[in-house]
Structure 1
Amino acid sequence: MTTTAPAPSRLWSPERRWPTTGILLLVTLVAFEVMGVGTAMPTMVRELKGEALYAWPFLANLAASVMATVFSGRLSDRRGPKPAILIGVVLFLAGLVVAGIAENMTVLLAGRVLQGFGVGFLIVAIYVLIALVYPEADRPAVFGALSAAWVVPSMVGPAVAGWATEHLTWRLVFVGIVPLVLIGSVLLVPVLKKLPPHAETPPPRKHLPIAAVAVGLGVAGLSWSLQHRTWWMLVVALLLLAPALRILLPKGTLLARRGLPVTILARGLLAGTFFAVESFIPLTLTVVHGYSPLEAGIPLTLSALGWASASMWASRHPEIERYTLVRFGFLLSATGIAAVTLIAPTWGPAHLTLVFWAVAGAGMGIATSSVGVLMMAASPEADRGFNSAALQISDMLFSATMIGLGGVLVLATAPTAGVVVLNLSMAALAVVGAILTGPRMRATLKA
């Protein structure tokens, strides 16, 4: 009996070499901006005399990104990804330039809002473009590479941004990547010109613009209220989010309904559980174990390496069902999260954080790229934009919520007690995700 080896990926074939390079370059630059700005922000606000507004550049960017995600999804469903990509590139470039020349906090905030709109338009439209350019057999490889492109900047972005800020100027964090964004955009021009006329008509969706604004303000308000324990704002944020999510997420998402809804939910659970725990690993290592900031950041770097490596491994095994990989990824992530709980007390094996968090990162790499493949497989052409936007909203919503709740827990108690409760809760939630992604996610392939 003979077996046929799977056909090699055509990501780098002559007709797809440049769009693949352009997509990965743009996503890498977006990720670099997300990771690098945090390192440079203290210097920015000090120079612009905006210390009292420190959180606002992050919140304004988050709100704009969430809103643009919705608008990009709708535009991509109605007219294809080309207009949304062009709008995204123009807004992102404008935001980089405006922030880079800012002489006061008002201008910096305007730049961050423009960047957020640009990122929101770009990411969703790129997902839709992938569905049009790459056949289904190649999508695991595309999403694996896309996952790595998001993660690799987390290893070098903060260091590069920190070096530029310390030795040159923080403005390079913005304007320094403008030429590369232009190159990535130019590489996409040929494939955008060749896209066939968009013929699908998306189903009508009432109140979408209002819901987009509500969810953007709601996610930003939720993040602020949990970080600052502003309970009245939490109530306002929830009142904004509740009706908006009914419009912007597939029906049954929060109830883990079979098929597409549980796939969208899985993305949120993966991101929320992982990033909630990761946010407090450096704090635990520095406060409880006396690590330096540099030493405390090493586990996060190794986790990023595990994420990128695992996503590429998953992309090279198309014979494995994607829902199986999602379940396996959830379990790996849960294992790493639970194991990291051991470092919370002073007697914990802090040196093993390197191993524990690399395991969790590998789980994320395997699962997140597979979720993207499953989402696209369940999406008719007329709904690809809407569903891609829903995937991003789920990610941002759960991340903001879980990180905020983690902050409430850790700041309300001694770090050790808060971290133990947070980590065990997130590990349990990841196990729930593994349970949900069995039969329910299998239905995605038939959707």
Structure 2
Amino acid sequence: MTDPLSAEPHAATGPAPTGRPLPHVSSLWDPPVFWVTFGSVSLIFLAALTSMALTTVMPFVSDDLDGQALFALAFSGTLATGVIGMVASGAWSDRAGPVAPLATSVALFVLGQTMSAVAPTMELLVLGRLVTGLGSGGQTVALYVVVARVYPPSLHGRVMALFSAAWVVPSLVGPFLAGAVTEHLHWRWVFAGLAVLAVVAFTMVAPRLRHLAEDSEGEREAGVGRRLLLAVVVAVAALGLGMTGELATSVAPALAWAVAAAALVVIGVAILPLLPRHTLRLGVGLPSVIVMRALIAGSLFGAEVYVPYLLIERFGFSAMWAGLGLTAAAIAWAISAQVSGRHGDRIGNTRIAVIGVALLSVATLACALTPVLDLPAWAPIALWSCAGFGMGLMYPRQTVLMLAYSTRAEEGFNSSALQISDSVSASATIAVMGLIFTSLAGTGAEFAAVFALALALALLAIVPGMRLGHAHEASSVRG
């Protein structure tokens, strides 16, 4: 292996050295990894921007294509197919390294965006969104494996802090940019532009990864077909769960709750083989990392759907001003992610868990008490920033721990498990909260109830948070 310290000044344009991570790389912007860092962060940014931009352009899409009936499916379908992409990419990465899965995932992402850009009907646009979900889900998992193969463990925290910021920044600029493009050009240019930018970002990364050594250990290869089938089951059940809110309003709440309960059972049974062993038992280390990620994702992403709604309904805020509550939390998340990335080892995993859960709990409690105690508007806005700061501490740290607990043969499987627990928990919680909100509508207790569920999930997260273990102990597994 070429010593990165002896690289020529133009080494930033060459491939990353093969084999093990680079122990002598001291910065994410050192020449051997510069373009890998820049391109990977760009791909994460574009995937997040796609999600944020969709909230702005979909009303226009729906009007142009007469697709009101498929409006919700354009959102939920992407998340569902993402689970399939995660499992496929994880298994493929473990068997043959991350390069081919990443290339395929980006190709699917670009294809889906292109299909959406040229779709003449809402049905074809939704199909494009489903393809986009396959690509975005697989892409994130493959990039996690790239991090494990290219960067030394000492830099994993900083990489994940950048990834975290790349998810947060689109929440600040995405809706505005998408709205500007839609207003001055057309909504189709939003999808087309994202497709082009994804190709550009991938060309930054791909040449620098072409010499990554392939893994042929294939320890989990025999179960790939079964896991893909289970991923499809989870995706379908998640879609069904997401549609129960409409069922509650159009048919009967009791039937909706029955369907939701059945969907949750199916998801629970089908998802277990997609997660590490001993996850249900909260085993020390990786299993507890996975469970904690699921709980805090459900708490935050479920609750944040209702923060602007609370400000609009309770205090008469406009949509723009109501969104500022989420903007402040996003900024806090980006700041604390950098703290976690740079000082996570010094702070310690248990302390990060305690501080993060406490901040998330304070935020959800404040939102739950606002309608009950008639708190002023500044209380949920200011305290929701605590949720963002707490998540910024915990979220990237859990990805670092996952990689530290993974052998080379398991990096893809464990990366997909972390992403699946995250996305499925968030979507399931949002669906259940929607049922709760619909069932209690008009009673005055609907907001308190959904935020109380978010608080309960946050408090439960402290249990696995006490069993995270220590990344420096697990890093010795790499040898």
Normalising by the smaller structure, the TM-score range is: over 0.9
2:316 alignment partner, SS class: coil
Partner Cα distance (2:443, 2:387) in 1? 21
Residue of structure 1 in register with 2:449 after alignment: 421
Which digits, 9 at most, give the CA deviation of each residue in 1:62-100, with x for residues without a partner? Answer: 221111111111001111101110101111111111100
Partner Cα distance (1:257, 1:55) in 2? 37
CA shift, 1:374, in A, is 0.7
Equivalent residue in structure 2 for 1:289, among 292, 315, 322: 315
Q: TM-score, normalised by structure 2?
A: 0.87
CA contact (8 A) 1:336 1:360 kept: yes
Which digits, 9 at most, give the CA deviation of each residue in 1:198-257, with x for residues without a partner? Answer: 243323436212112111112222222245433454355335323321211112323422
Residue of structure 1 in register with 2:437 after alignment: 410
1:348 alignment partner, SS class: coil
CA contact (8 A) 2:95 2:215 kept: yes
| Residues 1:339 and 2:339 are matched in the alignment | no
Partner Cα distance (2:182, 2:424) in 1? 30
Which digits, 9 at most, give the CA deviation of each residue in 1:166-189, with x for residues without a partner? Answer: 332111221112232112101112
Amino acid at match of 2:64: E
CA shift, 1:346, in A, is 8.0
CA contact (8 A) 1:289 1:346 kept: no
Evaluate the alpha carbon distance shift between residue 422 and residue 255 of structure 1 in structure 2; reply closer, same or farther with a 3 A threshold.
farther
CA contact (8 A) 1:374 1:445 kept: no
Residue of structure 2 in register with 1:178 after alignment: 195
Partner Cα distance (2:101, 2:429) in 1? 30
Partner Cα distance (1:380, 1:402) in 2? 31
Residue of structure 2 in register with 1:237 after alignment: 263
Which digits, 9 at most, give the CA deviation of each residue in 1:414-446, with x for residues without a partner? Answer: 3741221222332232122123311x1116665
CA shift, 1:117, in A, is 0.9
CA contact (8 A) 2:231 2:271 kept: no
Q: Which moved more, 1:104-113 or 1:314-323?
A: 314-323
Equivalent residue in structure 2 for 1:270, among 272, 275, 296: 296
| Residues 1:395 and 2:422 are matched in the alignment | yes
Which digits, 9 at most, give the CA deviation of each residue in 1:343-399, with x for residues without a partner? Answer: 325832112333111111000011000000111111111111111111111111111
Evaluate the alpha carbon distance shift between residue 436 and residue 179 of structure 1 in structure 2; reply closer, same or farther with a 3 A threshold.
same
1:4-403 alignment, distance < 5 Å: 9-203=26-220, 204-205=222-223, 207-226=226-245, 228-229=247-248, 230-231=256-257, 233-238=259-264, 240-317=266-343, 318-345=345-372, 347-403=374-430
Evaluate the alpha carbon distance shift between residue 9 and residue 221 of structure 1 in structure 2; reply closer, same or farther with a 3 A threshold.
farther
CA shift, 1:402, in A, is 1.4
Evaluate the alpha carbon distance shift between residue 184 and residue 322 of structure 1 in structure 2; reply closer, same or farther with a 3 A threshold.
farther
Paired-residue identity, %? 35
1:191 alignment partner, SS class: helix
CA contact (8 A) 2:298 2:457 kept: no
Amino acid at match of 2:133: G
Evaluate the alpha carbon distance shift between residue 379 and residue 158 of structure 1 in structure 2; reply closer, same or farther with a 3 A threshold.
same
Q: Which moved more, 1:96-105 or 1:204-213?
A: 204-213
CA contact (8 A) 2:96 2:215 kept: yes
Gaps of 5+ in 2: 1-23, 249-255, 475-479
Partner Cα distance (1:96, 1:443) in 2? 40
Supply the RMSD in Å over aligned alpha carbons. 2.0
Q: TM-score, normalised by structure 1?
A: 0.93
Gaps of 5+ in 1: 1-6
Partner Cα distance (2:259, 2:184) in 1? 40
CA contact (8 A) 1:277 1:426 kept: yes
Which digits, 9 at most, give the CA deviation of each residue in 1:142-182, with x for residues without a partner? Answer: 11111111111011111222232233211122111223211
Evaluate the alpha carbon distance shift between residue 429 and residue 209 of structure 1 in structure 2; reply closer, same or farther with a 3 A threshold.
closer
Residue of structure 1 in register with 2:477 after alignment: none
CA contact (8 A) 2:171 2:327 kept: yes
CA contact (8 A) 2:296 2:457 kept: no
CA contact (8 A) 2:349 2:470 kept: no
Partner Cα distance (2:181, 2:145) in 1? 34
Evaluate the alpha carbon distance shift between residue 396 and residue 228 of structure 1 in structure 2; reply closer, same or farther with a 3 A threshold.
farther
Partner Cα distance (1:117, 1:64) in 2? 5
Amino acid at match of 2:438: L
Q: Which moved more, 1:204-213 or 1:129-138?
A: 204-213
CA shift, 1:33, in A, is 0.2
Partner Cα distance (1:273, 1:165) in 2? 33
2:386 alignment partner, SS class: helix
1:171 alignment partner, SS class: helix
Amino acid at match of 1:364: M
Equivalent residue in structure 1 for 2:461, among 413, 433, 437: 433
CA shift, 1:259, in A, is 1.6
Partner Cα distance (1:382, 1:55) in 2? 38
CA contact (8 A) 1:342 1:349 kept: no
Partner Cα distance (1:331, 1:38) in 2? 30
Partner Cα distance (1:231, 1:423) in 2? 19
Q: Which moved more, 1:237-246 or 1:136-145?
A: 237-246
Evaluate the alpha carbon distance shift between residue 225 and residue 257 of structure 1 in structure 2; reply closer, same or farther with a 3 A threshold.
farther
Which digits, 9 at most, give the CA deviation of each residue in 1:287-346, with x for residues without a partner? Answer: 111111111110101110000111011112142223432332122111121122233258
CA contact (8 A) 1:378 1:445 kept: no
